[in-house]
Structure 1
Amino acid sequence: MINPEEIYQLLQKEQWSNIIDILHKNKNEIANEPSLINAAQTFETVFLQKVREYPKDNKDINGVLGLLYVLHHGKFYKLTETNLKKLTIELAERSPFKEAYNYAKQYPDEEICKEIITNYESIVNEIEEARAISHSKSTINWIEVYNRLFELINNPEDVATYFSGPRFINAVREILPYHPDYSQYIQLRGQEGKSTSRRIFYYDILMDIDELTRIRIVDKITSIVKPFLPEKVQAIDMIMGKKVIDNDVISATKTESQADSNPVVFISYSWDDEAHKEWVLNLANKLTTDGVKVILDRYSLTAGKSVPFFIEQSISQAHKILIIFTPNYKLKADKRAGGVGYEYSIMNIDLYKNQTTNEKIIPVLRTGEMKESIPEFMQQFIHLDLRKDENFHISYSDLIREIYNEPAIIQPEIGNKPNFN
């Protein structure tokens, strides 16, 4: 028979999936043993409190929430009514579109559920309106719009405006949450024998949907690009029949000035494995959406380009340098091996010159302990700890503030001496 202490130990370690497994496999024992019932209900309460600390897009946590919901409704384990309500509302906040709506309908009087229901029904109404007018002939020259749009987002050298396949599809999914993600879509195209050329499949995605939704997606993309290429976006708006306000037209000089105001950040990291490379790429993408011009090898380095030249130019151009420390990074840096070794050598020279006034290099600890991941000379500098994905939103807030030189705590101005009389 299972010991309640096992549940408490797993609870302390936040090993939620293992507890779910116990609830499922030992449902009969738990239902008839008061000490186990108490341990299970403690898990419910603690988990549903802790879950608020996890990001809404945490797949592991969302999976546990879904399993717990299935356990209850499959009569494998019965939640208390209070915790069932908390669980259902949490799922409503974390689920996409129709799923969120279905969860929210179970508690329609809760404020968050009212908001989800209203948003869903509003989108459904828009879709119905689009279908109602789809029979009418479009007055927009979509071929010209698309050609201009693709030119707008097809410059790999400009990370702010460039839309890779995943970035384009993520923009589509913000309007159409149930559209396949990038890997699913490319796999589907391959199965159907269709081209996976970006120019072709971007066009197919836009032309396969109703015009109202297509307009919303184009507006979404152009709103991101507009601060950097306002005149080209204005041309697209005019073709689509939008009114262009004179004050909205930004001169080329102003555009360049605005672009210059965006901080430039170079990310130095080692290619440890695919998961680490993906994490770094996701970090670069998030920084880009927050107005940072990121220099990343995977954005810029292609066949035939010089790696040393890229590294030298990147370090020279960057306002800030993020070094993503891992045990493998330290190993390569200490041995001065490969691209990491070359990058570290150049950065070290600058650091030796400016040890007391370093404002350029931001050390980031991703995996391992400080002594095993950060070279000895670098250990003297305060680092940001991004090892725990569940706390990423907090650590990222510290990072983005550091990049923009916007500290969370600002020392107030010195006041006047008090009157002691």
Structure 2
Amino acid sequence: MFDFDMLGLSPSLNTALQNANFTQPTPIQNQAVPLALAGHDIMGLAQTGTGKTLAFGLPLIDHLLAEPGKPAPKTAKALVLAPTRELVNQIAESLRPLVAGSKLRIATVVGGQSIGRQINLLARGTDILVATPGRLIDLMDRRAVDLGEVRHLVLDEADQMLDMGFIHALRKIAPRLGTPRQTMLFSATMPKQMEELSRAYLKDPKRVQVAPPGKAADKITQSVHFLPKAEKPGKLREILDRDPGALTLVFSRTKHGAEKLMKGLVADGYNAASIHGNKSQGQRDRAIKGFRAGDISVLVATDVAARGIDIPGVAYVINYDLPDTPDNYVHRIGRTARAGREGEAIAFCAPDEGDLLRQIQKVMKTEVPVASGTFPEGEAGAGTGRRPGGQRRGNRGQGKPASAAPSKGRRPRRRRAA
């Protein structure tokens, strides 16, 4: 069954979708693609993992296929801005199969890579430029890129760009873009600043929304373990040993904490790697590649990976440390249960993280079921102190509450790559 042909895309693009094994559009694609094809500016709101990349990528490619002529040197016809290197690479990887067989070119520019090589790449021009704002401004300052021919602008994960201070970069980039142009803004949340951003850069946008901001994907089973900080390492190993080889993404709050946790896991025989801001782009790319291939089964990350990792096979997301920003919890756990699959999100909550958990539950408008432990009186969830009694999914052999104490004095068994 192929349903993309109902969206009004060109025959060649429908063929590319079929060759890439895409058959049915997601709700955000169903809503956004026809409006974007008609030329409207788009404000898209959808939780992570719902197919936002194709929601803007399909109409973008369709428009470019209909435009004659190749790009002039140093120019681009379309610009996609994303906040992180990982997300830039993921967007490009998602779009490349859809331009296979056409003359459209996709180029990426991010920090942490040779700027000289990127200057040479842009010298011949490109149809779609996917970039992080900081590196793009570096290239603009060196006069290596001319954005005057850009007629399509996409701001992906715009809320995270605001959080990371990229609004100042956007103010430098926007005046250099061509006009008239179509602008599409996609975000998982809708802070007040986003309304201001849309008024500044979008013209009479059509708003599409498929899930309330802060809502996690329906197929994610959530649970929380209340435990002292010192017991987190043992609980993590206990959970990892229940499903050896399953792809597990573990989030740490700090770069130092992520690296220390990863080294401890490797010392105990786990196939683990880490990605964070102190890693080079090459190291980060190799870690994600190994994780996607199953050569690495445990990836420890900071919030640099909360958005930008699209690996359908991630079975578990473990919040070793709760995030400082509630919205980041939703983005983190959205790394599992992707592409219609099921997934499990497990959180560790130490006594000093109680306020963070309350904020997370307030944003999600629901309580996370308790798998083990109890919170200090007056601190649990909405202040009830009750244990919701979360159960783990039985299809992983976990039909009872995860309340067993972590084993002591036993070295976790070594595991082979999945």
Task: Tell me the TM-score normalised to structure 2 length.
Answer: 0.25
Q: Which has the higher helix share?
A: 1
* Structure possessing the higher radius of gyration over alpha carbons: 1
Query: Which structure ranks higher in relative contact order (CA pairs < 8 Å, sequence separation ≥ 6)?
Result: 2
Q: Which has the higher strand share?
A: 2
